[in-house]
Chains A and B, each alone.
Chain A
């Protein structure tokens, strides 16, 4: 195992004195070996977290993470960085809360400042129906041990003075508040995991597209890539947005459709919004990054799309809703908009599952909720891959649920987007 210098203020001062020439690579870029115990396709947050927990929790370290493009370049680097776990269903609350807890100590655990900032996530109730839905989630969270509360319009105003509480179209009737929800620096999450995996001796191979999955007698034996053929005992497919394409290579199909989800940022301004606000009735969520930009998430297009760009009317609808809810932002400007390709399952909840091919595992379908779940997802996936059996967290998310009709439906309470 290779030791790399620890990051600290001390190291920064030391390096400043020698022109920062002593820093080592955050992760190595080796050529792939012939064979690994586990090959993971996809070096996004979920793939890297899977590798990390394979090594940390299960001592499986002969691992390669193959990435078609650049590490963290999919949805990990394209989302609105919201982290919360105020979910209704037990299975969701468990995995998202696990993820949130791991986020709390991620900077220390990985010795990399991922800037997890528990600034609080507020979901506005703007109809009576929505208010009852959030009260229901709050009650479920109390049983589940997830710390949330349902707060009054006055408390909303105190926490976020720039919200237009009185409507007029959709007055704020209350809100579901998770004070330990927040945001993190999305790229840093991928980089931090990559660094930790590399330190454990794992291989992260970028610019390495998988072209075929090789099987023998219904069991995986390896993959063919742009950098040669690689054998493996187990294969984990963790390629949000492109899961269907990868599954097809392995010879099965998924209950998934890929659509573009829109986001945008404003120019940076001095702090005016300390918390994350989600307004689901009007379809928009907003937070302010440490750099000062307002980070705004909108809806998903309603057609299959692999192009990482989307239609403008979704942006328009979101901006319109947010200008109405936060009147002070009207004169600020949109700086950049982009799309991420998210995969949507039949019940809009993820899949962490064995597949029809032995020793091939799939982790996908996070829809719009992928970033917040990264560490929990990696934890659960690593357990599944290492033991060939889902653990407590992954068990409910198996592919078989669709046949059984056992939905994990989060939209039931209040039409909540993730």
Chain B
């Protein structure tokens, strides 16, 4: 039963207040995308056994989407952050580096 802190309203929200939205930092491929790029955008997922950057919707709360860095094996959360960014912020990467020196290659 995950609990994630919404970076907007600051509430530590129970999983039942949230809605998972899958992998984060995927930029939409539009009309100009090639077939391969479009397929990659729609379907190909990192699905790592380890640190995962993912979208969450505080759907039964403040209504905001946010991002989380979470381990898919231990369920550890390295931090939550704004959805309005193209890549994980430095402090999140630093926290991952601190706790998982081996995993921070990405």
Contact = CB atoms under 8 A, between A and B. Distances in A.
A280 B4 CA distance: 29
8 contacts: A244-B46, A244-B47, A244-B48, A253-B46, A257-B22, A303-B54, A303-B70, A345-B43
Interface string A304-324: 111100011100000000000
Interface string A282-316: 00000000000000000001111111000111000
Interface of A: 242, 244-245, 253-258, 301-307, 311-313, 345-346, 402-403
A255 B55 CA distance: 17
Interface stretch (B5-13, B72-80, B82-90, B94-102): B72-80
A253 B44 CA distance: 7
Contact of A254 (B47, B49, B74, B75): B47
Contacts of A301: 20
A248 B71 CA distance: 18
B44 A254 contact: yes
A306 B1 contact: no
A302 B20 contact: yes
Interface in B1-52: 1-2, 15-16, 19-20, 22-23, 35-36, 38-39, 42-49, 52
A311 B16 CA distance: 10
B72 A304 contact: yes
A403 B44 contact: no
Nearest to B16: A313
A403 to B, nearest CB: 4
Nearest to A402: B43
Contacts of B38: 403
Given A256-B47, A257-B47, 19 more contacts: A244-B45, A244-B47, A244-B49, A245-B49, A253-B46, A254-B47, A255-B39, A255-B44, A255-B45, A256-B45, A257-B45, A303-B70, A304-B48, A305-B72, A306-B73, A311-B1, A313-B1, A313-B16, A402-B43
A249 to B, nearest CB: 12
B41 to A, nearest CB: 11
A304 B42 CA distance: 17
A346 B49 CA distance: 19
A315 to B, nearest CB: 11
B42 A346 contact: yes
Given A257-B22, A302-B19, A403-B35, A307 B45 contact: no
Contacts of A302: 19-20
B47 A402 contact: no
A271 B43 CA distance: 45
B43 A303 contact: no
